[in-house]
Structure 1
């Protein structure tokens, strides 16, 4: 029987063993900032559940449902997501109040999916001063892609300027002589859209023959639509939020006025805009999309849409799957879950921003084929592709190719 000779455990061997053990412990060490721990991740959110943009409240509800599902399935590395969502009624001062409450009282790790251009503008400097991630804001303003000056703020939606640039490309090609009228919301959102359109039409700026802006506090925009008609445009473009988009399309029908009509993506919901406006009035309206429409038969057997429908059926049966805001909330929240998973046990605010800015062609299951999420340390614009669509019958129908809406292209 062989004899195993044991060598003396020298001081050098002991030192080496301790070094290896210490290194392993360092590698396994968990890192937390305020709002994170072994059992919980606190996430703050602000959405207009009331007020003139309350149709967007669905976004926050579906986000919450996604996190509930994650928690029911064991959480993220056994940590439950504590999703704290407050109403700001689409009011910037209220948004500031709620942001302070979330960061200073609730002590959240990060803000996620805060909705509205004006509201996010109101809190951006404060949040960046606190070095709290303001991640995947639910607004397409171009300003969210500014990592140099606001390294803690990142958008998610395609930028409004990029989207409007696509409409300009379409009109220059398909309607080269058409006169254009524009109705836009008199805030950062509407002005961003308008700038994108004008930049896209820079070669022929006189094409825009009329502009009307409205205030979000106005009960109706009917008078603005009437004034635009007096300019006899061939094309009318609505850069509005859902309530006013539905009013505008309905008013066109009441006036028996049939110009080529374009409505921005944020107001292209079948459930909250097109149906309330009247299906007969909505025929032929053009918009863009980057996400799947759950009411479209082509996605009946699509795995991503099936997962989306199953989530709503279990957690929010009262929400219509055809509501584009519901799909937006679903896609944004599943992106956030991916970032948290990639962050592992390093749940520091700096690492979360690092992971959020390191997404490479992430194939979000609710996005259209060919549309992926890509970010980098110098590019905080996750989605830059869209596809044109037209409303026919009871739903939107996609046409053309997926187009890069990146400004300058």
Structure 2
């Protein structure tokens, strides 16, 4: 009888030990998984943090449908004001105080890089950084995945499309120094006649000189590779010189707000890339769902490119957690991410990740913006 009693006690202790081990993963509980993100909730860049709120909305929606494998998904966001030193403190709080399972959709190249020593030392998985910087994924880094297409991916897509649609035409490319590598990716497609490449800073004088040179060269197509504000300045200089060429750019200006910033005659000549639908696409099924979720869960949050991007990132994270199964751990989540194939979703393009490919948005389409709609000029083009 005593032996039988001790056997029962031993069995109970083994069960308790197994249970404690099974849920020992930081941020993973029987009914909850906690994710963390640092974003500029306040300060001059606070509009970007709408992506984080939209991600929280998506997870609320998923939770109301029963969660993922019986767990509710909680996303905690700490404010970094898009400042590196604040990002470092935000990560410390997420790791030590919030005890998150993984980082998700953190924002900014400089801010996230500043916090890297902290999250790397804790070996936290880092899912879908909202940055187009190639450093996060080229080459693939263990445990790190990024969301946005790099300039090189955009240049690869543009090169494929231009070769098919404008092969044999006169093409010129203007770029800033930061986009030099992307320009050379474009040039490697072997255009005939050879593309004219022009690099400059973005001062008004420099841009005026570049545009005048382009006008004399009379290209039929101009490709501009630069950051958002620099692209707008280039377009305004181009319009002032009454340029007549088609102008191709990456994803930076793929936004309904661009329609309000540019003259309609310039819009007619502008071609852009996009991975995600725009707010103009009122009949897009994913946009209809997105609008409905914002109205239900965050009626004060205005739909924008940032809310769309936030939900898209959350859809990716949901897919990773679903494929990780009930026995969720850092290793199972990372394996699931590296095997992720998502041909269809509400907002995302086709996504395919593997051990060497850790960037989600690599398939893009060419579009033309109209005041009230988006015209698609291509199917998905893979920029890997």
Q: Give the TM-score of the pair, scaled to structure 2.
A: 0.80
Confirm or deny: 8 A CA contact 2:51 2:307 kept in the other structure.
yes
Quickly say closer, same or farther: Cα 1:395–1:91, change in 2 above 3 A: farther
**Structure 2 counterpart of 1:339:** 320
Secondary structure of the residue aligned to 1:103 is helix
**Structure 1 counterpart of 2:337:** 356
Quickly say closer, same or farther: Cα 1:169–1:338, change in 2 above 3 A: closer
Between the aligned partners of 1:63 and 1:342, the Cα distance in structure 2 is 19
Confirm or deny: 8 A CA contact 2:201 2:207 kept in the other structure.
no
**Structure 2 counterpart of 1:4:** none
Indicate whether 1:312 and 2:294 are aligned.
Answer: yes
**Structure 1 counterpart of 2:158:** 167
Indicate whether 1:211 and 2:199 are aligned.
Answer: yes
* 1:138-183: CA deviation from partner (whole Å, max 9, x where unpaired): 12333333576x2110123333312112223334451645353434
Aligned equivalent of 1:133, options 125, 133, 136: 125
- Give 1:62 deviation, angstroms: 1.1
RMSD: 3.6
Secondary structure of the residue aligned to 2:152 is helix
* 1:73-103: CA deviation from partner (whole Å, max 9, x where unpaired): 4433443333222343434444333223322
Between the aligned partners of 2:81 and 2:266, the Cα distance in structure 1 is 29
Quickly say closer, same or farther: Cα 1:287–1:382, change in 2 above 3 A: same
Quickly say closer, same or farther: Cα 1:123–1:237, change in 2 above 3 A: farther
Quickly say closer, same or farther: Cα 1:201–1:126, change in 2 above 3 A: farther
Q: Give the TM-score of the pair, scaled to structure 1.
A: 0.76
**Structure 2 counterpart of 1:158:** 149
Between the aligned partners of 2:121 and 2:259, the Cα distance in structure 1 is 41
Between the aligned partners of 2:99 and 2:382, the Cα distance in structure 1 is 39
**Structure 1 counterpart of 2:52:** 60
Secondary structure of the residue aligned to 1:267 is coil
Indicate whether 1:266 and 2:252 are aligned.
Answer: yes
Confirm or deny: 8 A CA contact 1:292 1:305 kept in the other structure.
yes
Unaligned runs of 5+ in 2: 1-6
**Structure 2 counterpart of 1:396:** 374
Number of residue equivalences:
369
- Give 1:56 deviation, angstroms: 2.6
Confirm or deny: 8 A CA contact 1:32 1:347 kept in the other structure.
no
**Structure 2 counterpart of 1:180:** 172
Quickly say closer, same or farther: Cα 1:43–1:207, change in 2 above 3 A: same
Between the aligned partners of 2:296 and 2:265, the Cα distance in structure 1 is 33
Confirm or deny: 8 A CA contact 1:283 1:393 kept in the other structure.
no
Between the aligned partners of 1:317 and 1:249, the Cα distance in structure 2 is 35
Confirm or deny: 8 A CA contact 1:55 1:243 kept in the other structure.
no
Unaligned runs of 5+ in 1: 1-14, 215-220
Confirm or deny: 8 A CA contact 2:88 2:115 kept in the other structure.
yes
